[in-house]
Structure 1
Amino acid sequence: MPSYESPLLALPGAVAAEGQDAGVAAHYGDLFREQRALARGEGFVDLSHRAVVTVSGADRLSWLHLLLTQHVAELAPGHATEALILSAKGHIEHALYLVDDGATTWLHTEPGAAEALTGYLESMKFFYRVEVADRSGEFAVVYLPAGSIATAPAGTVVRETPYGRDLFLPRGDLSAFAGEHGPAAGALAYEALRVEAHRPRLGRETDHRTIPHELGWLDSAVHLQKGCYRGQETVARVQNLGRPPRRLVFLHLDGSEVAIPEHGDPVRLAADGPEGRALGFVTTAVRHHELGPVALALVKRNVPADAALLAGTVPAAQETVVEP
């Protein structure tokens, strides 16, 4: 849906997001209020710009098991998981958020990724009894925060995780759902809580050469004892050697600065100053309601874990996410 625009942009105070989250609201007039509401388990986030794909058929789980980094051959109905699709060299191509309802595997992924994802899946069907469908035009993803007592509409497929619930809601029901389950929170509030939780996102914490080890995705999206899948050789080699070339870090940014870094801004040693050699890049920087300005960044493995850094031109103290 390249020109998608959510109907919830008509809600009072809605300000449209840009970039990767274009099509939904960045916020509804009060970023910190929206974050605090989510942290209390209140409200919802419109993620209706995300791509929705389903896989049905008798062989769906055993077939997906051959393609994904995650063990899904015996995925129980209602059990949520994450998985990646890698290139032959082990670089991350797709990040998938899955749940199976007993007859169909539902997944959502990044906005605009459905065509490439379904194209790859279709090319791998061979003789397996599976049907792949882009359902982005029919279903919208809505996020309910952890602790929410909101009830999903009857018949809704729900993906429940420690971070909250993802609802695969019929698109025609989106406005009615918003009217019953407010207040709405924007994508910026959702991103702030994601950064706080050190959770990577494809297209933000990744580039064309990112491997799962660099982001800590081994814990949630990779099963190290499962059978062969594309890119597994790289996963096994790096796991056995223990030397991923880069690592994800969490940055506490200097709150006295007016601006926060942009995605892609270089990360340098503070001792080298703003003209020093770039040792990584800022992936996502946000303003958090309690922590102040914080960010995730991808830096070279050998950057000292206690080194003071510059994120763009902003002084930053790092907190380890992936061990050096």
Structure 2
Amino acid sequence: MSVIEAIHADHGATFGERDGRRVVEHYGRPERAHRAVRNGVGLFEPAYGVVVVEGDDRLEYVDNVVSNRVPAEDGEGCYALVLDPQGRIETDLYVYNAGERLLLVTPPNLAADLADEWSEKVFIQDVEVRDATDEFAIFGVHGPTATEKIASVLNGAASPDRRYSFVRGSMGEAGVTVVRTDALAGEESYDVVCAADDAEAVYDTLETQGMNAAPFGYRTWDTLTLEAGSPLFATELEGTVPNVLGLRNALDFEKGCYVGQEVVSRVENRGQPSRRLIGLELEGDAVPTAGAAVFAGDAAVGEVTRAETSPIREASIALALVEWGLEVDEVTVRLEGTEVPASRTELPFVAGSEQSDRLPTY
């Protein structure tokens, strides 16, 4: 559940469920909140899981399991994947080196299973793994003035200027860690991490102190990340080979470990992928559901992964996985037995203040 559900309820939130967690869907006007983020700064409580890895061998252990190189320096992080033996994505996660421990930020429903699985695989190494989700609160700050917002409330440190790096400071009387994130909404972005007991005070500081920030929920997050062309775990990543999605930033092909030598090199050397992720803009106001078939003429060439009405483009837009060699720009999407015309569109759909690190790179 949300760490500060009562605060969200006082704001008039409508709640829903994502990946087994109770979350804020919206506060009544998600399109207005969307524009507030695009024009200024917004405040969001995402649903995450947190795994803590401690012990003298923590760096070596995690580095051998994930697809990217784990940073050795305190204050640095990376985005990485856990792949199965066929090179398909089992989970994505952020890995942050916090000195004597690593913090792994995962999809919310996977932290406990990941902690249990890794704990069972530890033999002679000095490694302790535990699910620490309930110990932390995480708040996202997104928008073209997000850096100014963080600077207006963060004490004891300057805003981090490199993606995946972080600083420690305070907001009010609460200690916080501020992470420069990967701009999944296509805007400047930070995660503010604090102890769960400090969540209400930190959220209030972020919302009302310094520059005001507009609270928003998952309905707005969905449209922001779609406009930015960011593939997400639940809709695009899970079970997919990374090069199908163009996720080059999550892979280190020079790693000298099991993942690096066998799985990641297999991903790199699979040859041309069979599919690729593209953007579509549909005619009319119909919004297809995930799995809707995409046709080129009479031939089925792929399927929609997710779709929304874009508040900025004022049109129905979608991400779709289609055949790699698809050359046509005009397709149709099958919606309740009707073929809706759609045009292939360059990603991102909307260019914000920053480009998402997950924007497909082929």
| TM-score using structure 1 length | 0.86
Conservation of the 8 A alpha-carbon contact between 2:304 and 2:319: yes
Q: 1:239 aligned to 253, 268, 272, which one?
A: 268
Aligned counterparts of 1:188 and 1:320: Cα–Cα separation in 2: 23
Aligned residue type for 1:310: V
Q: AA paired with 1:317?
A: S
SS of the residue corresponding to residue 90 of structure 2 reads: strand
- Residues 79, 159 of structure 1: 8 Å contact kept: no
* Alignment counterpart, residue 308 of structure 1, candidates 317, 323, 331: 331
- Structure 1 pair 145–311 and aligned structure 2 pair: CA distance change class (3 A): farther
- Asked whether the equivalents of residues 78 and 158 of structure 1 are also in contact (C-alpha less than 8 Å), the reply is no
For residues 157 and 93 of structure 1, the distance between their equivalents in structure 2, rounded to whole angstroms, comes to: 27
Match for 1:175 among 200, 209, 214? 200
Check conservation: 1:285, 1:296, Cα contact below 8 A. yes
Indicate the residue corresponding to 1:291 in structure 2.
Answer: 313
TM-score scaled by structure 2?
0.77
Q: 1: CA distance between counterparts of 2:274 and 2:261?
A: 17
> Following the alignment from structure 1 to structure 2, what is the Cα–Cα distance between the partners of residues 278 and 206?
22
| SS of aligned partner of 1:195 | helix
CA distance, structure 2, for counterparts of residue 76 and residue 118 of structure 1:
23
In the alignment, which residue of structure 1 is the partner of 2:76?
79
- Which aligned pairs between 1:73-222 and structure 2 lie closer than 5 A? 74-146=71-143, 147-148=145-146, 149-150=149-150, 151-152=153-154, 153=171, 154-163=174-183, 164-182=189-207, 183-208=214-239, 210-218=240-248, 220-222=249-251
Cα deviation, 1:87-111, whole Å, max 9, x if unaligned, reads: 1111110100222222221122112
Deviations 1:161-194 (A, max 9, x none): 2521122222233333333323211112222222
Segments of 4+ moved more than 6 angstroms = none
Offset, 1:57: 2.1
Q: Contact 2:175–2:194 (CA<8 Å) still a contact in 1?
A: no
Q: State the aligned residue count.
A: 312
* Structure 2 residue matching 1:105: 3-state secondary structure: strand
Which residue of structure 1 lines up, in the alignment, with residue 57 of structure 2? 59
User: Aligned pair in 2 of structure 1 residues 25, 19: CA closer, same or farther (>3 Å)?
Assistant: same
The structural deviation recorded for 1:203 is: 1.6
Q: For residue 260 of structure 1, what is the amino acid of its counterpart?
A: V
Asked if the contact 1:60/1:105 (under 8 Å) is kept, the reply is yes
Distance 1:245 1:232, change over 3 A: farther
Q: Give distance in 2, aligned partners of 1:111 and 1:199.
A: 18
- Mapped partners of 2:199, 2:261: distance in 1: 39
Please list, as runs of the form range in 1=range in 2, the aligned pairs for 1:231-270 lying within 5 A after superposition.
233-254=262-283, 256-257=284-285, 259-269=286-296
Secondary structure, aligned partner of 1:190: helix
Residue 317 to residue 65, structure 1, CA distance change in 2 (3 Å): same
Amino acid at match of 1:298: L
- Cα displacement (A) at 1:51: 1.0
Aligned-pair CA distance for 1:215: 1.1
Contact 2:50–2:103 (CA under 8 A) maintained in structure 1: yes
Query: Mean Cα displacement is larger for which, 38-47 or 303-312?
Result: 303-312
Structure 2 residue 223 is matched with structure 1 residue 225? no
Contact 2:111-2:131 within 8 A present in 1 as well:
yes
Q: 5+ residue gaps in structure 1?
A: none
1:320 to partner: Cα distance: 5.2
Change (3 A) 1:162 1:203: closer
Letter in 1 for 2:230: R
**In structure 1, what is the Cα distance between the partners aligned to 2:327 and 2:63?**
38
Measure the CA separation in 1 of the matches of 2:326 and 2:4: 42
1:27 counterpart residue number: 26
How far apart in 1 are the matches of 2:272 and 2:8? 45
Q: How far apart are residue 294 of structure 1 and its match? A: 1.7
Identity of aligned residues (%): 32
Q: Secondary structure at the match of 2:64?
A: helix
Q: Post-superposition shift, 1:41?
A: 4.2
Structure 1 pair 201–21 and aligned structure 2 pair: CA distance change class (3 A): farther
- Please report the RMSD computed on the Cα atoms of aligned residues, expressed in angstroms: 2.6
1 CA distance for matches of 2:42 and 2:75? 23
Give the SS at the match of 1:203. helix
Deviation by residue 1:36-64 (Cα, 9 ceiling, x = unmatched): 222234231011x3211111222212221
Q: In 2 relative to 1, CA 125–16 (structure 1 residues): closer, same or farther, beyond 3 Å?
A: same
